[in-house]
């Protein structure tokens, strides 16, 4: 199987947010935006921990399931950069070929830190 051309966003905490989507799901309520992003942080934390454990033992179904959950959560609130990374990790896990899983896990952690930073700056 050939390696993917996927490249994580970068090594910083840059996140890409679809603000129209976030506005839509929060019904324009500022407090709800913060709550949705805080909930996303918890989803990232839980699934990232599970992904790390599963990846270490080549538990592809668990990696795929957790990446799928991250993908959905990111799409729901419009964090497109996280969605892209989770989509690639899910694709690789389903193919049982985690060619750059370590890089993707680092990118997911970077996204977590980016969401956390954005949340603390915009919703103190």
- CA distance linking residue 50 with residue 64, whole number of Å: 11
Instruction: Grade residue 2 by pLDDT with cuts at 50, 70 and 90.
Output: very low
**CB count in 10 Å sphere of residue 122:** 12
What is the per-residue pLDDT across 64-96, written as a single tens digit (0 to 9) for each? 999 999 999 999 999 999 999 999 999 999 999
Could you give the domains of the chain?
Answer: 19-122 (1.20.120)
- CA distance linking residue 50 with residue 54, whole number of Å: 6
What is the per-residue pLDDT across 30-56, written as a single tens digit (0 to 9) for each? 999 999 999 999 999 999 999 999 999
Distance set, CA 63 to CA 23, 55, 76, 81, 83 (Å):
30, 6, 20, 18, 15
């Amino acid at each position: 199987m050939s390696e993917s051309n996927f490249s994580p966003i970068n090594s910083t905490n840059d996140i890409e947010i679809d603000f129209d989507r976030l506005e839509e799901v929060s019904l324009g309520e500022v407090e709800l935006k913060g709550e949705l992003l805080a909930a996303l942080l918890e989803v990232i934390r839980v699934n990232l921990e599970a992904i790390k454990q599963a990846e270490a033992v080549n538990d592809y179904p668990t990696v795929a399931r957790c990446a799928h959950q991250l993908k959905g959560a990111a799409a729901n609130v419009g964090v497109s950069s996280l969605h892209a990374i989770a989509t690639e990790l899910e694709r690789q896990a389903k193919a049982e070929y985690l060619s750059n899983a370590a890089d993707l896990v680092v990118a997911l952690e970077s996204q977590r830190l980016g969401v956390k930073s954005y949340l603390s700056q915009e919703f103190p």
